[in-house]
Structure 1
Amino acid sequence: MDALLNDRFRDVAQAEGIKEGMNEDAKKFYNLVEEASKLYPDCNGFSMLSFTIQLYLLKCQHGWSNASFTSLLELLKEAIPNLNIPTSFNKAKTMVRDLGLDYKKIDACPNDCMLYWKEYEKDTSCHECGTSRWIVHPVVEADVLPSKKYHNIHVKTLRHFSLILWLQRLFMCSATAKIMRWHDEECRKNEKLRHPTDEQSWKDFDNHHTNYALDPRNMRLGLSSDGFNPYRTMSISHSTWPVVLMAYNFPPWMSIKQEYFMLSLLIPGPKSLGNDIDIYLQPLIEDLKKLWEVRVKTYDASKNETFQMYAALMWTISDFLAYAILSGWSTKGKLACPCSNYLKYSRKTCYMGHCAFLPEDHPWRANKRSFNGKVEHRQAPPLLSGTETLSQLEYVNNSFGKLKPKKDGPWKKRSIFFDLPYWQYNTSRHNLDVMHIEKNIVDSILGTLLDISSKTKDHTNAGYDLQEMGTRKNLHPKKTNGRKNVKLVKACYSMTNAEKSIFCDVLKTTKLPDGSASNISRCVNLLERRISGYKTHDAHFMLHYLLQIPFKGILPDQIAVPLIGLGSFFRQLCQKSITLQEIDQLEEDIVTILCQLERIFPPSFFDIMIHLLIHLANEVRLGGPVQFR
């Protein structure tokens, strides 16, 4: 917190002589900071502002009551009379609010039907489902028992942090305001793609909105959201959804730093939102529309002038489940992708048929025995533009709330992002979280190779699926003992117990550089020959650098080569800078790798996470290096 405040407000506190270019909001903000410059005479470690916000942060983290916070401030003031701090909680809260760090509470229907906002602000019940806005709670008076009073408790409350104030504050520090033009003034322009400004989406946006592109200070934003359990225990089912934005005007080493993340909404649980997230996104969408249609007067401290600031949302970033929630497209079963098949015995949808992405004259297209038993005549499905998507959504009826029936079909709603005037023209609207995909891929590979019972994709039903497809007859289940028992044939990737022990021992004994990953050896159980409990970043590191060693040393080349190629694909995909030629090559390589894997692993191995690899290289072409998304 100290580092953030010092960086954000150091220049502001010294800006006494530059008033002529300020608007009224900027003057009010500067006056507040100047008044809060010194905690006490000769204090260098804290300002009054940073000290008060540190105390306020401790209050929030440890659950202090408002009265206890006031008592602490009074005690500090009594012990150190020349201490320059607020004298009560209300005054401290006013200071935080004036800085733009406060939030607005907006009540919501517990069934996610509506917000009590704008014209519905004073309503007492939901106009969709009739559920009350309040829980009436009895309060027993200590002095006059048994008489009771009643007060209303909000059932569900959204917290909205103003995006406009966040962006205005970024420009009020001269050092930060200057860096906001880095992408235009200092970013090197050559064949290397280092920043989203080099990518196709950014260029298409500038070409379509020429007035917006004239001022490099106009903001480009990305949005990310996902559910998490704030209680840090898996025994409680609770899903709270923060909605976070990041600014792409910053250079690469600052863009995705935590101190520059902008928390816009905090959506309460306890249940996952599903498609009803659009109800809670309304205040944010209104801010974004204002930043596009009306624009906002903003003071630029680096140029000592007030300018009209635009801001535009370029895309969202999420895992595949949140992708469905944000976009409105179903990501379950056969609707997730046209390249899908239902496995009768495994009772799941698989996503094979990657030969459709090969050139038309490729010999693998006619190889029925090695793939899914069919000659592949299909072409790769085209990507929908925003305008085409909007035309498909023309007759989709939006209805929100937990009590409303679920819709059939691939589109579950018309996403609220299409309320933004420019959204349909964005080349890249939704991006996949690459590290989430890496984690799922590592789970599938390790579970299948080590035959971990809860994670393996190779089982009896997988053999029956191959028999149903009429491919790889050597792996079909064989009836024994009077056809009562079934014998499974070992696949080419199956390892002996000794080989599994060697595989695990490599990961157990590997010494890693500090900070590269956590202690992966703790995730390896040599006795049970299994690997579990690793985090997403551990899976990322193993896939890029570690797993190739046991793959090459233990597995036959026909299996080791595509698996090593898979790790190489991700390592190149996640480079900090990349060329268009490298992206084209990655697109070709991943199709070949997936086709090679189809010839090795059972159909149940190819869940949607494996198939999503097809799209990752194109997302780099459109949105820039993976680190920004």
Structure 2
Amino acid sequence: MADLIDDVMWDLRENGTNLNTGTSNTMGSSVDDDFAQLLEEMETKLYPGCIFSSLEFLAKLMHIKVNNKWTDSSFDQLLELLQLAFPKCNKVPLSHYLTKKKMKSIGLGYESIHVCKNDCCLFRKEHDSLQVCPVCKESQWIDKNTKARSSLSVWSGQGYRACATCNEDTLSYRATNKFVYIGHLRFLDANDPLRKMSDFNRREETRPASRHFSNNDIQEQLSRLLTRKPGKHPEHGGEEPKQQDYEKHVDESLLGTLLTNDKSNDTSTTREDLRILNIQRNEWLQKNGDKFHRPHVRYSFTKSSRQLFCQFIKDVKLSDGFGFNISKKVNDTNTNIIGLKSRDHHILMQRLIPIGVRGLLDNDTYTHIVDLCTFFKQFYSRTLKVEYMRKAKLDIIAILCKLELIYPPAFFDIMVHLLSDLPDEAIVGGLVCIRWMNTFERYMRKLKNYVRNKARPEGSIAEGYVAEGNSNLNIPKVMKRENFVTGFVKSMYFQNIPRVIIDVESAIEVPPPTGRVNDVSDCETDYDETNSD
């Protein structure tokens, strides 16, 4: 609310207008007259006897337009009908264009700013008249993406050294058609009995764990980088961003392999990788005449088991507000689950898969899958302890080692390998629930629902966002002149909140009359696992 008043009053401050005395310079007089006209219109009813003022009625009407995705032409027709239905002295505007113009005149609009598609600059201020980017020479274009990690840190998320934590010691292997990251035995203790097992690659694991690179080591590596310009331009080393949702990616790979759908890692190519690495002989491709066939593996459902699992998912009833109706994601033949969102993967990984696969897989495979799901449940819990995360670090490494005995190398892409780094990130960054992308994804879904014209999605989102904000304002109270004279912001939504004084230089918060803030030493810095999710 303070920002709204600050924006509206900006021109008055720039020109030295004083509302208390009514004095101003020549230009400020014009601005003051326009604003006084708006104040007068704000106090004018839509028509005699109406409970709404003109601006308040338009704000609510624009909100309805956005929520129901009305077109501009249909909105114009509605305004024409309202003009005829209301008394002749009504203040209903003639068109949608005039409505937006009036709302923008009180600071309730938006400004479109073009940006270079490589994120080099904004075409505003001194660059407003340019048609090409002064940095990369690309023409104007509106880009909706953000910078990728490789564009910021020059560390690619693909290839032999995709893991930034392992750095030069990344355990990578070039399979038939992708990079895989196997050999997690090296992270175990030197005396761990699993290191001596030859079931992995027919030899003992003697390699040490990846080195811990200090800050000085990282700085030394950065000093060798060439000077480059920021942005996503190909010549600068930039690339398209890839959102890192570990749980969703692992669940897609795990569930796809169980159901043998298009996300499965059990293909003829992955079976050939087993032959090349000379591991898991019983799962190699078998030749039958002129054709090859894949023998059934223990990490995939049989046809009957797949139908039982899908039927289990279809019969699940979730609590209100906990998740969407996941039963609708199962196809008609009970053979596949499609159209899953991030929240669906979250529920499947932590709640449903550990129960649904029971009795449908052998005991070893089932146990390791449940251990993996338990790790995610612990990692995403609402309370954490540092010692628990240190133990989870050892647990996830052991889980990945045991899964290497079951799943083909193609299952272990970079996202699966990075699970071993998640406990360290939780120790440094804190709770995952305050750092994950779920909140932003839900809000992005809300913004996408504003889109009516798919050729201009940015404009639809901007109009919808502004219209919703306008509908939540108590415009009659905000626009009263006495609010500007006293300098206080009054709102129906902040009755018991400390008032904010609008000052030219800064906003000064007036402390509340009662209450106190606990000392920092009173705050508990450790996390507790009790009542964990």
| TM-score between both structures, scaled by the size of structure 2 | 0.61
Q: 1:64 aligns with which of 56, 62, 72?
A: 72
Distance 1:587 1:39, change over 3 A: farther
SS where residue 161 of structure 2 aligns?
Answer: helix
Aligned mates of 1:609, 1:336 — CA distance in 2: 10
Residue of structure 1 in register with 2:157 after alignment: 331
Deviation at 1:559, TM superposition (A): 0.7
Residue of structure 2 in register with 1:349 after alignment: 179
Distance 1:330 1:63, change over 3 A: farther
Read off the aligned partner of 2:114 and give its amino acid letter.
D
Residue 443 in 1 paired to residue 258 in 2? Answer: no
Deviation at 1:596, TM superposition (A): 1.6
Residue of structure 2 in register with 1:613 after alignment: 419
Deviation at 1:557, TM superposition (A): 1.6
Read off the aligned partner of 2:258 and give its amino acid letter.
L
Q: CA deviation digits over 1:459-506, x for unaligned, max 9?
A: 23222212222323333334454xx54453432224332222222221
Residue 627 in 1 paired to residue 433 in 2? Answer: yes
SS where residue 515 of structure 1 aligns?
Answer: coil
Structure with bigger strand share is 1
Residue of structure 2 in register with 1:227 after alignment: none
What is the root-mean-square deviation of aligned Cα atoms in Å? 4.7
Distance 1:526 1:497, change over 3 A: farther
Distance 1:127 1:356, change over 3 A: same
Residue of structure 2 in register with 1:120 after alignment: 127
Q: Give the alignment of 1:266-415 within 5 angstroms.
A: 277=146, 322-324=148-150, 327-337=153-163, 338=167, 339-345=170-176, 347-370=177-200, 375-382=205-212, 388=218, 392=222, 395-399=225-229, 404-405=234-235, 407=237, 412=238
Aligned mates of 1:43, 1:387 — CA distance in 2: 72
Q: Percent identity?
A: 28
1:544–1:570 contact (8 Å) kept in structure 2: yes
Read off the aligned partner of 1:55 and give its amino acid letter.
L
Aligned mates of 2:50, 2:211 — CA distance in 1: 65
How many aligned residue pairs are there? 402
Unmatched segments (≥5 aa) in structure 2: 6-15, 21-31, 436-533
Aligned mates of 1:393, 1:372 — CA distance in 2: 41
Aligned mates of 1:498, 1:399 — CA distance in 2: 57
2:230–2:236 contact (8 Å) kept in structure 1: no
Q: CA deviation digits over 1:239-260, x for unaligned, max 9?
A: x62xxxxxxxxxxxxxxxxxxx
Read off the aligned partner of 1:75 and give its amino acid letter.
Q
Q: CA deviation digits over 1:156-181, x for unaligned, max 9?
A: 35xxxxxxxxxxxxxxxxxxxxxxxx
Deviation at 1:446, TM superposition (A): 1.9
1:39–1:85 contact (8 Å) kept in structure 2: no
Q: Give the alignment of 1:366-515 within 5 angstroms.
A: 366-370=196-200, 375-382=205-212, 388=218, 392=222, 395-399=225-229, 404-405=234-235, 407=237, 412=238, 436-452=245-261, 454-481=262-289, 484-515=290-321
Residue of structure 2 in register with 1:527 after alignment: 333
Aligned mates of 1:535, 1:118 — CA distance in 2: 41
Aligned mates of 1:62, 1:98 — CA distance in 2: 24
Distance 1:487 1:123, change over 3 A: closer
Read off the aligned partner of 1:460 and give its amino acid letter.
S
SS where residue 334 of structure 1 aligns?
Answer: coil
Q: Give the alignment of 1:127-276 within 5 angstroms.
A: 127=134, 156-157=141-142, 241=144
SS where residue 173 of structure 2 aligns?
Answer: strand
Residue of structure 1 in register with 2:60 after alignment: 54
Aligned mates of 2:332, 2:79 — CA distance in 1: 56
Residue 79 in 1 paired to residue 64 in 2? Answer: no
Unmatched segments (≥5 aa) in structure 1: 1-7, 13-22, 134-154, 158-239, 242-272, 279-321, 414-429
SS where residue 179 of structure 2 aligns?
Answer: strand
SS where residue 388 of structure 2 aligns?
Answer: helix
Residue of structure 2 in register with 1:518 after alignment: 324
Q: CA deviation digits over 1:149-205, x for unaligned, max 9?
A: xxxxxx535xxxxxxxxxxxxxxxxxxxxxxxxxxxxxxxxxxxxxxxxxxxxxxxx
SS where residue 112 of structure 2 aligns?
Answer: strand
Structure 1, 440-449 or 579-588: larger mean CA deviation: 579-588
Greater relative contact order (CA < 8 Å, ≥ 6 in sequence): 2
Distance 1:516 1:468, change over 3 A: same
Q: CA deviation digits over 1:402-450, x for unaligned, max 9?
A: 875464xxxx59xxxxxxxxxxxxxxxx9975xx322222221122122
2:229–2:236 contact (8 Å) kept in structure 1: no
Aligned mates of 1:530, 1:463 — CA distance in 2: 22
Read off the aligned partner of 1:437 and give its amino acid letter.
Y
Aligned mates of 1:124, 1:156 — CA distance in 2: 10
1:504–1:531 contact (8 Å) kept in structure 2: yes
1:371–1:471 contact (8 Å) kept in structure 2: yes
Aligned mates of 2:242, 2:130 — CA distance in 1: 38
Q: CA deviation digits over 1:575-623, x for unaligned, max 9?
A: 2232223322322222222122111100011122222322323333233
Aligned mates of 1:26, 1:619 — CA distance in 2: 54
1:39–1:48 contact (8 Å) kept in structure 2: yes
